[in-house]
Amino acid sequence: MPEYDVIVVGAGNAALAAAVSAREQGANRVVVLEKAPEELRGGNTHYSGGLLRFAYDRADDLKTLVPDAERQVSGFFSGVEPYPAARFREDLMRVTEGRSDPELSEILIGRSYDTVCWMAKQGIVMEPAVSLSAVRVGNTVKWSPGAVIRARHEGVGLSKMWFEAAAKRDVEVRYRANVIGLTHDRTGRITGVSMNDPNGIGELTARAVVLGCGGFEANPEWRARYLGRPWDHAKVRGTRYNTGDGLRMAIELGALPHGQWTGCHSTPIDADAPPHGDRKLTDKTNRLSYPYGVLLNRLGRRFFDEGEDFQFYTYAKLGGIILNQPSGVAYQIFDAKVADLLEGRYKTGKPTIAETIPALIEKLPLDHGAGRQTLADYNGAARSGAFDPTVRDGLDTPGLALPKSNWAQRLDTPPFVAYPVTGGITFTFGGVRVNERAQVMSTSWAPITGLYACGEMVGGLFHTNYPGGTGLMSGAVFGRLAGAEAAGA
């Protein structure tokens, strides 16, 4: 008889959703194996903004999740637009250039609302994502469709609430438990894991194993191998423990790689951010108000259409674009007109400030002549018109070879500020193929019996880019599914 019904590898959102779901569906002995020590537990989930993107037909559908929202934001329910499945699908397909796996994306989208309600029942308390999603103009609050709700106290809260939910269900959690391999019998059925913990190297047996142990974003050698230069130099926004171990173990056993192995989620972060995520700062190094300003590289040139779309549809690819600029840095430049629109997270940074544009450029380590010219050209092209941060306002820059397609106001109101940014890696897109039961598929396109995967390990959903709030939702949907299936294995 195996020691456990289900072994879950990892202790982030996906893994803990799997563990709770396995217990709910009848697995008696469930253990979570976490590589990190207890004080660093919780994977990227701890560092996240806790934002959840899911489909809902009516704003009233959110009442189950945030019944008290109007106390926090008056008129909340009348201000939120519906986000039906068709719109979620359209967003996901648009930003991934039509490449998101159709079967997996249907599972993600189709089960997103039901799963977020299930999370709430498990004790995950939610709130309106005011500082992430709300844009306030006068007395109106406009929400980014589909990305309106987050876990209370963001990723720190989400991780804590998941551990509490797991404890309530008597899930055992072992820390410093570094899973290093999968064991199997002669039929190929998974029988457990081998691991390295403070007692040495040993094995644990189970009827089923769920892998929820993240991507390879914290492994510079794999970043160099799959993402290429300059990704080995990237700062890691989250945990240092996601080194591709689960992917390696599964692939060694014949699992089918899936999705974009050269792709990752990467965002503009403070150029002075630490090399790995800071437990206290979490996602506060993010710099996502660039649609309201202008981006310059060290050559003093623009290199990205800052107003291509709302931030939640461009931020996840912009980090990589910045990292590929000279020295891997860029400068986000704003004038005083938009100071109130900058996300609160900018307060954690140290901007360069000047009363004129030439004086600002002089203070920055970039080609001064080119920088002055670029901003003069930009100011010459920016039109006067109705600036509206709540819609794609079409305020563009006719005549510029690289347009700014929306929100292109002249930089004309001092003081002018510049925030230095680099590209921080969040998570990798390459993973393994899972089927509709979250079973890991083998290269012979048959499920590997007893092996399930969830979270960042699921390949195929994201390519090149990603709509904000989808990582946690995908983790919860596939985690819940994997846990339930593993319970019945």
Ligand X SMILES: Cc1cc2nc3c(=O)[nH]c(=O)nc-3n(C[C@H](O)[C@H](O)[C@H](O)COP(=O)(O)OP(=O)(O)OC[C@H]3O[C@@H](n4cnc5c(N)ncnc54)[C@H](O)[C@@H]3O)c2cc1C
Q: Which stretch binds ligand X (CB under 6 A): 13-21, 71-79, 183-191, 316-324?
A: 13-21
The interface with ligand X within residues 317-376 (CB under 6 A) comprises none
Q: Name the residue among 451, 101, 2 with its Cα closest to residue 251.
A: 451
Q: Which is nearer to ligand X, 35 or 184 (CB)?
A: 35
Please tell me the number of Cα atoms within 13 Å of 198 on its side-chain side.
Answer: 7
Site string for ligand X, 41-80 (x = CB under 6 A): -xxxx-xxxxx-----------------------------
- Residue 338 CB, shortest distance to ligand X, in Å, is 23
Give DSSP secondary structure letters for 43-98. HHHHHS--EE---BSSGGGGGGT-TTHHHHSTTHHHHPPPB-HHHHHHHHHHHTTT
Judged by CB under 6 A, which of 128, 145, 146, 214 binds ligand X? 214
CA distance 380 to 361: 17
Cα separation values, 136 from 69, 150, 332, Å: 16, 18, 21
The residues near 21 (Cβ < 8 Å, ≥ 6 apart) are 479, 480, 481, 482, 483, 484, 487
- Residue 170 CB, shortest distance to ligand X, in Å, is 20
- Residue 59 CB, shortest distance to ligand X, in Å, is 20
The verdict on 472 binding ligand X (CB under 6 A) reads yes
CA distance 190 to 204: 11
Q: Which is nearer to ligand X, 300 or 469 (CB)?
A: 469
Judged by CB under 6 A, which of 237, 258, 287, 298 binds ligand X? 237
Q: Which is nearer to ligand X, 442 or 474 (CB)?
A: 474
Judged by CB under 6 A, which of 212, 259, 371, 467 binds ligand X? 212
Classified as helix, coil or strand, 414 is: coil
| DSSP structure class, residue 118 | H
The verdict on 283 binding ligand X (CB under 6 A) reads yes
Site string for ligand X, 392-431 (x = CB under 6 A): ----------------------------------xx----
The interface with ligand X within residues 157-196 (CB under 6 A) comprises 177-179
The interface with ligand X within residues 19-38 (CB under 6 A) comprises 33-36
The verdict on 470 binding ligand X (CB under 6 A) reads yes
- Residue 357 CB, shortest distance to ligand X, in Å, is 32
The residues near 381 (Cβ < 8 Å, ≥ 6 apart) are 397, 398, 399, 400, 408
Provide the 10 A C-beta neighbour count for residue 329. 17
CB 425 within 8 A of CB 456: no
CB 293 within 8 A of CB 306: yes
Classified as helix, coil or strand, 470 is: helix
Residues in the interface with ligand X (CB under 6 A) total: 44
Place of tokens 């002075």: 272
Binding interface with ligand X (CB under 6 A): 9-15, 33-36, 42-45, 47-51, 177-179, 212-214, 237-239, 241-242, 245, 277, 282-283, 426-427, 455-456, 469-472, 475
